[in-house]
Amino acid sequence: MTRPWSLRGRLVRRVVLGASLSWLVGVGLAALVIAHEMSELMDETLAGSARLTLALYQGGADMAMGGDTGQALRIIAEGTEVIAAPWPPLDADGGHDTEGWRVLRLTDAQSGIIVEAGQRDEWRRDELLESIGWLVALMLPVLLGALVAARGSVTGALRPATRFAQMLRSRSARDLSPVAAPDLPSELTPIPQALNGYLDDIRAMIEIERQFATNAAHELRTPIAAASGQAQLIAAGLADRDAAGRLAAALARMGRLVERLLQLSRAEGGATGRGPCDLVRVARMVIADSGLCARFDDAEMISAPVAVDPDALALILTNLLRNAAEHGTGDLRVTLAPGPTVSVSNAVQPGAVFRHGTFEKSPGSHGAGLGLAIVARVAETQGITLDHVMTPDRATVTLRFADVPSAASR
């Protein structure tokens, strides 16, 4: 199970980490610069001390140094060490690093007097660390202020998203109205847009189901009432000889309607798979099973593979044949053509029109008004293109199929 995490917490942690690392890098670079500059400054101090000591000694001043200050002097006059130092004598002028000391040697060219001024490495290091410590102490409040500001900035930037989440949490599950989030940043605006799209689809589906249930109840009311009336007459012994036939007809009509409703439900649910299948074979089988007198023209095609589920194709052709037989005036034809395509056509009376709406049917029709709706839904799920052509004396529905994918591409 995935543990929940906080976007605010993650952003704050990353910003704090980034700011802290940047601060540490900045302090480190500043420490390197301070160490370099202080080393140069201390070397200049040693050079100044050596020159001052030489001048004072030549002037006869007392050069004795007392106490352990971390600094020491050596004076050599006429080959004799006047003042001793804790490091070995040096052979050349300039700066030298000896055991635990930084020493600068200076020789007076006229008198030959040698002065060596030294500073303990430990003392120099302590001075450097003290300077860096003050730098860190002075910069630490800057870091703390930056972290507080970063936390506040992240919290403020996420406040619109937080309000949006609270608004969604407080909405009722039955509230399908559009979600309004005018103050969201551009990075988050796709969320309410997508959510509103889902809500639109849900509202449309609920409306379709509501309309479907209403129409289905309306269509079933008549055959149920007819069957109930005939059954009551038969039970009371008042029925004539045709009552049983009328009851059977009402039940058959109700059965056909229920079958069509189940087909429509299956089509709208997208419960069909994908092929391929042989269009020629399926067409012949459907015509044979329908029991209708339909002329079949296969255009001398032995087979015609199409990327369609065979059950879905059979359902489409069966409904087209039934629709043509119930609403046409005869001359039912099923025609195949290269492409491949298949057309179902029939003769019609003048003024005939296609009725595509669910439960939409012509006045006086004994059908349920579901045939073309079922065909459209299944064709959409299978990627089949439908063409409807109505002439003064003929109605034609043509199915155009997508190419069958090759074995290499599957």
Tokens for 302, please give them: 């032995």
**Among 66, 67, 73, 64, which residue's Cα sits nearest to residue 45?**
73
**Among 297, 343, 304, 295, which residue's Cα sits nearest to residue 320?**
343
Residue 212 has what pLDDT?
64
**Among 232, 257, 265, 236, which residue's Cα sits nearest to residue 247?**
232
Q: With bands split at pLDDT 50, 70 and 90, how would you rate the model's confidence at 410?
A: very low
**Among 123, 129, 83, which residue's Cα sits nearest to residue 100?**
123
Q: With bands split at pLDDT 50, 70 and 90, how would you rate the model's confidence at 361?
A: low
Q: Is 216 a residue whose pLDDT tops 70?
A: no
The half-sphere exposure of 8 on its side-chain side, counting CA atoms within 13 A, is 13
Helix axes 7-58, 121-170, angle to 10 degrees: 160
Q: Is 350 a residue whose pLDDT tops 50?
A: yes
Cα–Cα distance measured from residue 326 to residue 320, given in angstroms and rounded to the nearest whole number: 10
Q: What is the mean pLDDT of residues 271-297?
A: 82
Residue 293 has what pLDDT?
84
Residue 64 has what pLDDT?
58
Contact 271, 381 (CB under 8 A): no
By percentage, how much of the chain surpasses pLDDT 70? 79
Strands 394-400 and 341-347: antiparallel
DSSP tag of 406: P
CATH architecture, domain 190-266:
Orthogonal Bundle (1.10)
Q: What is the mean pLDDT of residues 368-391?
A: 80
Q: With bands split at pLDDT 50, 70 and 90, how would you rate the model's confidence at 66?
A: very low
Residue 407 has what pLDDT?
41
Cα–Cα distance measured from residue 249 to residue 243, given in angstroms and rounded to the nearest whole number: 10
Task: Describe the chain by its helix, strand, coil percentages, rounded to 5.
Answer: 55, 15, 30
- Range scoring the smallest mean pLDDT among 59-73, 311-325, 336-350: 59-73
Write down the domain spans for the chain.
Answer: 7-144, 190-266, 273-400
Q: With bands split at pLDDT 50, 70 and 90, how would you rate the model's confidence at 308?
A: confident
Residue 316 has what pLDDT?
86
Q: With bands split at pLDDT 50, 70 and 90, how would you rate the model's confidence at 264?
A: low
Phi then psi dihedrals of residue 146, to 5 deg: -65, -40
- Range scoring the smallest mean pLDDT among 4-8, 104-108, 211-215, 314-318: 211-215
Tokens for 156, please give them: 């403020």
Residue 408 has what pLDDT?
36
CATH architecture, domain 273-400:
2-Layer Sandwich (3.30)
> 328 or 261: whose pLDDT is higher?
328
Q: Is 70 a residue whose pLDDT tops 70?
A: yes
Q: Burial-class residue 18 by CB neighbours within 10 Å (0-12, 13-18, 19+).
A: exposed
Average model confidence (pLDDT) across the chain:
80
- Summarised one tens digit per residue, pLDDT across range 185-202 is 888 888 888 888 888 888
pTM over 0.75: no
Tokens for 272, please give them: 């069909």
Residue 265 has what pLDDT?
61
Q: With bands split at pLDDT 50, 70 and 90, how would you rate the model's confidence at 115?
A: very high
Q: With bands split at pLDDT 50, 70 and 90, how would you rate the model's confidence at 292?
A: confident
By percentage, how much of the chain surpasses pLDDT 90? 8
- Summarised one tens digit per residue, pLDDT across range 223-237 is 677 677 767 777 676
> 60 or 166: whose pLDDT is higher?
166
Q: What is the mean pLDDT of residues 378-401?
A: 87
Cα–Cα distance measured from residue 212 to residue 205, given in angstroms and rounded to the nearest whole number: 10
- Summarised one tens digit per residue, pLDDT across range 10-49 is 888 888 888 889 888 988 998 899 888 988 998 898 899 8
DSSP tag of 403: P
Contact 215, 358 (CB under 8 A): yes
Cα–Cα distance measured from residue 294 to residue 315, given in angstroms and rounded to the nearest whole number: 17
